[in-house]
């Protein structure tokens, strides 16, 4: 095995491990606070590699470095095996409904906490760019729209802009569509319509301006810019999901674990000469994956945290829980669907890697 492969694999496992552990730890912590018995806390999927027990909870590391689980007693009909010591702590269905809601919601919430902490460190290590135009290209789209150096972009198509990198992502997603821009010049708000110009040689659209407005983040400003980074990650995630659902994202643009591992390897190869660049880029990937996992798990789909929250909210509204066997069946169907989807994404990753 090459050093590149081993380093890529190690970085991938560390990144996924941090994201998964933060998610499951959220469930675990709130379960403990609410007196719910955690049967197993596992990282990874598939056969167990290492496992140990402590205080009626089994902790395990599984073979495949993707996913994880925090399994509660009585959840979806889960009961302790006969050869296990019966815990004197409560089963999940016996807990107060708000205790269950907080325990389920804590997983995605801890992903957002992790993303914020990553962003908070990142903005202290790199130079952040405000959305201020540093220069415009002669004859470019920005110049044609009447924009010039020093203009601060406030919004694009009604979306507020706080970081220059948001403009770059917006350009990628809009795929050349005209954009309504609100900007500030000399303290006054101005509006214009910018029509991106297509560059045949690069195969992409350009707005015709660059940024030179660098911000050296210090002190409490780090909180503000960390929030901007996480906000941008959340916005890009739900926009990507919307594009996927509406068919605006090609199959080759969808990446699973293998695709993410390839991306980690490529970024490492590009930045390996500078350890700080490697660190910041890996933290950025961790932040984005954590945001993705948090949002994905909040989708109201069976087997996901969002699907479980739907059942709990229905319980609050109707005053009693839906029969556990019925809810368990719904989540089982959802789990089978996601397993099939995972297989599809895996082979799609392999196919994309071979193209």
168 pLDDT band, cuts 50/70/90, is confident
Per the structure, the count of domains in the chain is 2
Q: Output the domain CATH number for residue 180.
A: 2.30.42.10
pLDDT value of residue 230:
96
349 within a domain of the structure (yes/no):
yes
181 within a domain of the structure (yes/no):
yes
Last residue of a domain, one of 198, 215, 232: 215
201 pLDDT band, cuts 50/70/90, is confident
Please, are residues 160 and 169 in contact by the beta-carbon 8 Å criterion?
A: no
Tell me the average pLDDT across 211-230. 88
247 within a domain of the structure (yes/no):
no
Q: Are residues 77 and 180 in the same domain?
A: no
Per DSSP, the three-state class of 273 is coil
Q: Are residues 145 and 114 in the same domain?
A: no
How many Cα atoms are found within 13 Å in the side-chain-facing hemisphere of 76?
18
Residue 135's DSSP bridge partners are: 210
172 vs 154, higher pLDDT: 154
User: Whole-angstrom Cα distance, residue 247 to residue 249?
Assistant: 5
Supply the pTM of this predicted model.
0.86
pLDDT higher than threshold 90 for residue 190: yes
55 vs 278, higher pLDDT: 278
Last residue of a domain, one of 194, 215, 236: 215
154 within a domain of the structure (yes/no):
yes
Tell me which long-range contacts 39-48 makes (C-beta under 8 A, separation of at least 24): 39/71, 39/72, 39/73, 39/78, 39/80, 40/69, 40/70, 40/71, 41/69, 41/70, 41/71, 42/68, 42/69, 42/70, 42/71, 43/17, 43/68, 44/20, 44/68
pLDDT value of residue 144:
95
Residue 95 is part of which domain span?
3-124+288-354
End-to-end CA distance of the chain: 22
Token representation of residue 117? 């902490």
């Amino acid at each position: 095995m090459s050093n590149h492969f081993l380093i890529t694999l190690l970085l991938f496992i560390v990144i996924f491990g941090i994201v998964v552990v933060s998610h499951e730890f959220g469930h675990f912590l709130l379960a403990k606070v609410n007196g719910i018995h955690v049967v197993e806390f596992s990282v990874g999927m598939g056969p167990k590699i290492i496992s140990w027990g402590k205080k009626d909870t089994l902790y395990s590391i599984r073979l495949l470095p993707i996913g994880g689980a925090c399994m509660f007693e009585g959840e979806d009909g889960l009961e302790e095996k006969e050869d296990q010591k019966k815990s004197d702590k409560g089963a999940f269905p016996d807990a107060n409904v708000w205790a269950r809601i907080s325990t389920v919601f804590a997983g995605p919430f801890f992903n957002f906490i992790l993303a914020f902490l990553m962003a908070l460190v990142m903005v202290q290590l790199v130079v952040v760019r405000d959305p201020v135009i540093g220069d415009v290209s002669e004859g470019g789209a920005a110049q044609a729209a009447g924009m010039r150096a020093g203009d601060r972009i406030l919004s694009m198509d009604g979306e507020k802009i706080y970081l220059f990198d948001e403009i770059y992502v917006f350009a990628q997603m809009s795929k050349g569509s005209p954009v309504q821009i609100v900007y500030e010049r000399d303290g006054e708000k101005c509006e214009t319509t910018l029509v991106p110009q297509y560059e045949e040689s690069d195969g992409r659209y350009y707005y015709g301006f660059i940024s030179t407005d660098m911000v050296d983040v210090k002190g409490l400003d780090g909180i503000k810019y960390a929030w901007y980074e996480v906000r941008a990650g959340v916005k890009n995630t739900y926009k990507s999901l919307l594009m996927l659902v509406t068919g605006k994202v090609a199959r080759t643009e969808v990446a699973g674990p293998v695709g993410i591992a390839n991306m980690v390897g490529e970024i490492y190869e590009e930045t390996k000469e500078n350890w700080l660049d490697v660190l910041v880029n890996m933290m950025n990937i961790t932040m984005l994956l954590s945001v993705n996992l948090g949002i994905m798990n909040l989708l109201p789909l069976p087997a996901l945290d969002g699907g479980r929250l739907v059942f709990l909210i229905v319980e609050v509204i109707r005053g009693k829980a839906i029969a556990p066997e019925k809810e368990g069946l719904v989540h089982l169907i959802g789990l089978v669907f996601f397993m099939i989807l995972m297989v599809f994404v895996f082979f799609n990753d392999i196919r994309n890697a071979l193209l």
